[in-house]
Amino acid sequence: MKTAADNTAQTVPERLRSSFVMKCGGSTLAALPDSFFDDLVHLQRDGRQPVIVHGGGPAISDTLTKLGIETEFVNGLRRTTEEVLDVVEMVLAGSINKQIVRRIMVRGGKAVGLSGADGSLIQAQPVANRAEVGWVGDVTAVNAELIGGIVDMGYMPVIAPVGIDAGGQRYNINADTAAGAVASHIGVSRMIVVTDVPGIMRNVDGVKQVLPLVTVQDIEDMIGTGEIYGGMIPKVRAAVACIHGEVREVVIVDGTEPQVLSRVLNGENIGTRIART
């Protein structure tokens, strides 16, 4: 069955086909070396325009704590009241987004920071369990023309996952959901998820080795057997969440690897590739 993302992806500007979408958590991006941003800038100058979607959960939690605002999670989603939403927007579209833009510009790149509410970039509706989680949204559409216009001007879009509906209501969007939707709507088949781990690992003869290729079902099986455990579970499930619409695979890589983005885009087997089938 076709989704809105599938239909939109067929009509997006052809110029976006040479772009790629990269998703990264705000805290991970902040910890990456300057060489990572040098690689981003090199790709931009080479015509392979990055489109970045970032998160920032830990920074949101820290700010809420400092402000004395209670926060809780329901099935992995932050319960988002209007008060919490104000902080989400302030942190994601404000401090984290602009920090990323500054780091790109310092290394000689050109970037524009946006939230999904700017130009109705990420259009959203309430999630099914709205009564439990508040103003958390599902993506209904992405303004691919706006992304294309920014790319045409030679700038790298840096997108904070705050959505909006036709009535002006803001929504807190899971960053992985937002990244997958952006990738699908602009018509790319592969996403790169930058983390602080080299990929999905398995013990082989007592030695941990990175698995070059796994399927979504392999991941669930490995979680069930305990081969994927602890903090790695949310990382791989977040990557799986990016696979929908046009996106057929996600590559998990360690952002500290030298020229990791260029190497992935040039076809090198690095990190773990998660395929839909």
* 78 labeled part of a ligand binding site: yes
- The distance from CA 200 to its chain's CA centroid, rounded to whole angstroms, is 18
Which domains does the chain carry?
A: 4-275 (3.40.1160.10)
* 168 labeled part of a ligand binding site: no
Please give the pLDDT value at position 199.
86
Please give the pLDDT value at position 13.
59
Please give the pLDDT value at position 17.
64
Summarised one tens digit per residue, pLDDT across range 62-97 is: 999 999 998 888 877 889 999 999 999 999 999 999
Summarised one tens digit per residue, pLDDT across range 16-74 is: 767 899 999 887 888 899 999 999 999 999 988 899 999 998 999 999 999 999 888 88
What would you measure as the largest C-alpha separation in the chain, in angstroms?
58
* 266 labeled part of a ligand binding site: no
Contacts of residue 28, defined as CB under 8 A and 6 or more positions apart, other chains included, come to 194, 195, 196, 255
Burial of 80 (0-12, 13-18, 19+ CB in 10 A): buried
Please give the pLDDT value at position 11.
54
* 134 labeled part of a ligand binding site: no
Q: Token pair of 156, please?
A: 């790298």
The mean pLDDT values, 10 residues at a time, for the chain of 277 residues are 42 68 87 94 92 93 94 85 95 95 96 96 94 92 93 94 96 91 86 89 84 91 86 76 80 93 93 87
3-state secondary structure the chain: CCCHHHHHHCCCCHHHHHCEEEEECHHHHHHCCHHHHHHHHHHHHCCCCEEEEECCHHHHHHHHHHCCCCCCEECCEECECHHHHHHHHHHHHHHHHHHHHHHHHHCCCCEEEEECCHHHCEEEEECCCHHHHECEEEEEEECHHHHHHHHHCCCEEEEECEEECCCCCEEECCHHHHHHHHHHHCCCCEEEEEECCCCCEEEECCEEEECCEEEHHHHHHHHHHCCCCCCHHHHHHHHHHCCCCCCCEEEEEECCCCCHHHHHHCCCCCCEEEECC
At residue 272, φ and ψ (nearest 5 deg) are: -120, 130
End-to-end CA distance of the chain: 16
